[in-house]
Amino acid sequence: MSVGEPRARDGRSATITLSHVGKTFLARSGATIALQDLSLEVRDRDFLSVVGPSGCGKSTLLALIGDLGGNYDGEIKVNGRSPRQARLDREYGIVFQEAALLDWRRVGENVALPLEVMNVGQGTRRDRQELVDRMLELVGLSGFKKHYPWQLSGGMKQRVAIARALVFEPHLLLMDEPFGALDEITRERMDLELLRIFEQTRTTILFITHSIAEAVFLSTRVAVMSGRPGRIVDMIDIDLPFPRLAETRQLPEYFEFVTRVRRSLTGA
């Protein structure tokens, strides 16, 4: 599979390695084993989707990688560092299922939030505005900089969230079912948008979804996760050509991959 010409990079790559990771939740009613003996590798410039049934721990997996959960067994390395260090070094951007935009800020100000928090943009407001403008152009919302979130549709809000996640130019993007709350037509459109962004920015993407079709369409590799306790039961390379367009969904190879993933999923 080819992802096209890489743009100039500063030599950093984005990788995630999980080795025999386990996570148990303790509650008054007993212990829940969310993840057990989970091993996974995300390579540089992968678009890796994790598919699995509901409650299998996909979101927990993402949380642990982002150091947004608690302790875990096993080893996780993000760009060669511990998740905590990666978070402190601001190595990744994250997009949730809910856009989580600040209602009291305009779109442009929302996208600028991480820059303000991280003191990025060489300190000058003009540099920050340039980054914001560039991101808005990337997600196709240039004319909406002055709008407020309540004026936007669901799909547009998620695009703002993506712009916000990428504005400080991380090499890694974590996405937790970002299009799950959207209707199918919007979702298909957003998939195409996301692929365009992926190709343009060469960001490594870890994508959680419960839609097999979406996983196959977007990814370079698909990891199939089992039900609780969650572990990776299969890893499938998706050899579909880039750029991926709406027509790709008609290819016989596409259906084959979808069937393969489905078989892994239901067999697991």
Partner 1 sequence: MIVSMVGNPAALMRVRTSAVSGLSATLLRGFRRWLPPLAILLSLISLWEISMLIWKPAAYLLPRPHDVFSTWIDNISVLSQYGLHTVRTAIVGAAIGGSIAFASGAAVAPIPWVAQPCLAYTAMLQATPTIVLTPLAAVWYGGPGTAARTTIVAVAVFPMMFMSTVRGLSMTPPELERLMRGYAASRTKMFLKIRLPAALPSILSGLKVVVTTAMIVAIVAELFGGPTDSLGAYMRQEAAFFRSRDVWAGALTAVIFGLILYLAAALLERLLLHWDPSVRAASTANN
Partner 2 sequence: MTFALGQAKRLPSGGATTATRRALVFVAIPLLFLSIWELYKYVNGVSDYKLPHVWRIFTYFTTRLSNGELTAVFLARSAWTTALEALLGLAVAIVLGISLALLIAYVPKVGRGVLPLVVGSQAVPILALAPPLLVWLGTDWKSKAIISGYVAFFPIVIFAVRGFTSTKPEFVLLMRSYAASPWSSFWKIRLPAAVPHLFTGLRAAASLSVVGAIVAELPVGAGSGIGVVIHDAAQFYIFNPRALWGATIAAFALGATFFGGVVLCERLTLARLGGKH
Residue 93 binds which entry of partner 1, partner 2, none, with Cβ cut-offs from 5 to 8 Å by kind? partner 2
Q: Nearest distance from residue 77's CB to partner 1, in Å?
A: 20
* Interface pick for partner 1 out of 63, 131, 206, 225 (rule CB under 8 A): 63
Give the interface size with partner 1 as a residue count (CB under 8 A).
16
Residue at token pair 């060469």: 202
Interface segment toward partner 2; rule CB under 8 A; list 40-48, 106-114, 134-142, 234-242 = 106-114
C-alpha span between 95 and 108 (Å, rounded): 17
Which of residues 52 and 108 has its CB atom nearest to partner 2 in the complex? 108
Residue at token pair 């259906």: 255
Structure tokens at 205: 């993407």
* Interface pick for partner 2 out of 52, 93, 121, 178 (rule CB under 8 A): 93
Is residue 72 a contact partner of residue 18, using CB atoms and an 8 Å limit? no
Structure tokens at 137: 């152009």
Residue 177 binds which entry of partner 2, partner 1, none, with Cβ cut-offs from 5 to 8 Å by kind? partner 1
234 is a contact residue toward partner 2 (CB under 8 A): no
Q: Nearest distance from residue 48's CB to partner 2, in Å?
A: 19
Which of residues 44 and 98 has its CB atom nearest to partner 1 in the complex? 98
Structure tokens at 218: 């977007």
Site for partner 1 in 167-206 (CB under 8 A): 176-177
Which of residues 52 and 121 has its CB atom nearest to partner 1 in the complex? 52
Question: Cα separations (Å) of 197 from 18, 102, 166?
Answer: 26, 23, 10
96 is a contact residue toward partner 2 (CB under 8 A): yes
* Interface pick for partner 2 out of 81, 90, 134, 145 (rule CB under 8 A): 90
209 is a contact residue toward partner 1 (CB under 8 A): no
* Interface pick for partner 1 out of 8, 10, 11, 28 (rule CB under 8 A): 28
The site for partner 1 (CB under 8 A) is made up of 27-29, 34, 57, 59-60, 62-63, 68-69, 96-98, 176-177
The site for partner 2 (CB under 8 A) is made up of 66-68, 87-90, 92-94, 96, 98, 100, 102-106, 113-114, 116-118, 148, 150
